[in-house]
Structure 1
Amino acid sequence: MSTARILFASLIGSVIEWYDFYLYGSATALVFSTLYFPTHDPAVSIILAFATFGAGYAARPLGSILFGHFGDRLGRKAALMFTLMGMGGSSTLIGLLPTYQHIGLWAPALLVLLRLIQGVALGGEWGGAILLATENAPKGVRGLYGSIPQMGVPVGLVLGTFGLALINHFTTNAQFMAWGWRIPFLFSILLVVVGLWIRGGVDETPVFKAQKQSGDVARVPLIDALVHDWKNVLRAIGLKLGDGFLNVFTMSYVLTFATMYLGYSRGDALNALTLGCATMLIVMPIIGYFSDYIGRKRIYISGLVLLLVLSIPYFALMAQHVVWLYLMEVIVLGIVWGAIFATQGTFFSELFPAKVRYTGLSVGYQVAAAIVGFGPLEWTAMAKNFGPSPWVFGAFFIGGLIISLVLSLFSPETKEIAYSRTELGVEN
């Protein structure tokens, strides 16, 4: 089986999952706050809509437990096939869901349910995609391989936001709100068919095969991870918190923040986000490659320090002029956070032994994601009370970054830990 197919399989599933997940985020303020959570106060409508956005994050730990169990006992490939179907199916149903005007309270209730299914699916996808890449990596390039599925985040986000922007461009406002916004959600079903076909032709990872042949398979991976590797589970949670809040802001909430509180047009906000994501696509494989030589920990610490330093300037400068908005998204999101995220999946996976790797990696990451996913609720309240204050918003992110920075200082360097096929002596 070719290396290119393996990496493409890890990337394409990640793109589809994040396309669906961020498509929902982009539609939250644009569509759902009006069509599914109508109130007389626009701010209240947005808060209610973002509560469902956060619900998707809250469901991700459940997905990490469920699919982590399957992934550690039955195989990485089987779990990844089901995550694709869960995400794609729920997104397609969102595209078909009647609005509050047609079915009343059933509309927001069903929307929340479908968002929860999205969260469960994504909770299992991320860790599996990382392992599909890294557990197939030859010696010396695990960091590079691990950065490939991470690229699905910016690609999926750009596809999701671009899909809505494209439909918005070719429809009137009335047409967009009536049916246009549904098209990108319905398009998910086609992406899922492609993803299942690609992943269906990929073998189980050599590392899992060797683990299963040895008979050393955890009966209940979650319990095993919490009993024997609880420190690393907590470490992964803390390492993700700091950059996680900034990630949710710069890749999702920035669209609401820039348009509602800074007066930018939606086009300007989308352009800035797109530039940041495009920069990430260049930065991530480069940093992943270098992490195999200089280590994950050194890059991680450097990125967190830079984010901490840039937290207040990010908000202060982006409020000045559209050029600064573009530049700060490129620097903070595309370069600095892109460098952190490029190493994150590989770094976290190397903390755990093979028999609980899917569960430990996923639970640590997704518990942190559940916490940071409710950031938009807090930021909407902060903006309402304090306006777009650089000091208030900057201080919020600095607090989370300090937690991650302290933990990273006391984390081990993991790049020499052996678990790839070459290092284990497992043949393709």
Structure 2
Amino acid sequence: MIEQKRILSTPIPGPRSVELQQRKTAAVGAGVSTGLPVYVEQARDGILRDVDGNQLIDFGSGIAVTNVGNGNPAVVKAVQQQVERFTHTCFMVTPYEGYVAVCERLAELTPGDHEKRSALFNSGAEAVENAVKIARHATGKDGIVAFDHAYHGRTNLTMAMTAKNMPYKHRFGPFAGELYRVPMAYPYRWPGGPEHCEKEAFSYITDQIHAQVGEESTAAVIIEPIQGEGGFIVPPKGFLPRLADWCREHDILFIADEVQSGFCRSGDWFACDDEGVVPDLITTAKGIAGGMPLAAVTGRAELLDGVHPGGLGGTYGGNPVACAAALASMDFMAEHDLAGRARAIGERLTGRLTSMAERFPQIGEVRGRGAMIAAELVTDRETKEPAAALAGAVNKACHERGLVTLTCGTLGNVFRFLPPLTITDELLDEGLDVFEEAFAASV
């Protein structure tokens, strides 16, 4: 058991981490970067312990993966039991109950009470790519519409839907075709501000789809209900329901990419739940299995059943150990109301960051839902000029003080806060103290 306490035994990074980073440089391709070269040897809930004995507060959760906390006893037990039974058969060769059970749980938990089917994969990018395959197969149409500031993955197809060039797309083209991009309903940066965004965004965006693609050529619209890597952008109230309704009116599938926002992170089981949006297809990963690699596409039964046998799958997709971890994670989320805990964390984060914004004009906006909160940094609140250099400086200062933080945003100027949903209030408050101290030292 790791004491839930920040401990700085050495400078960050410490000597053993420095040595390991040198080995990494000699053995791992430079394209696989490291934001904080501190090598972890053990972790539990809100604390990461490194090889030098430092204990860092975790405000990243492995990018929204360890929602149930690192070292969750229920997940550990389920994984150990499954490893003893068997580690792999390939579900497409000789199936097993765990895969079926995960799909049954996804049918219960994901939005909507219609009949559903799921297919399991390894990563969020795989899930998104397969959702596009399903949509094109079902509709017989090719066009896929994505949004500015979107992040959908690093495969060739999902890179084409991802908005940010560096580091995700730079010199990796050409990309897959029949993929179109429209503006995101981004209240903070919409011309005229949030009120104009609420009034104008839906009509402007659907007009753009009509003009650029044509409804009759559009297979699907894919959107993150809360954009992740793009900056935790939350569209205005009413936008998502209107967009989903518009898609149905025009025989276009509505795909919700909940890879980052799913599994209690946003304060609901899924971010779509906040306004009762029911997608035709929903992609999930990250928080589904307590750190084990698993992802899913869940959707209307006729869509997934319409694909020919063998058209979906993969050797490792729905690995039995990952399925065991997912079932234990979902049970833990339900039993401990982690959606409610995410809302409580969000209130604490929002209150503290809003108070900081009163002191620091460089915090242009605090936004998000649940334990998915962001602060957008600017050099000037009037011009809203992005303060990417400041974000980098604060991030570095946090790391030096033993707080694992993450930046994001297409413009590189957004701090995202993603603590494990099992973090204690005391540790959350201490982490915010560290963040405020680092911020004050950097401005």
Do Structure 1 and Structure 2 share a fold, with TM-score over 0.5? no
Q: Which has the larger radius of gyration?
A: 2
Indicate the TM-score class for this superposition, using the shorter chain for normalisation: under 0.3
TM-score by length of 1: 0.28
More helix by share: 1
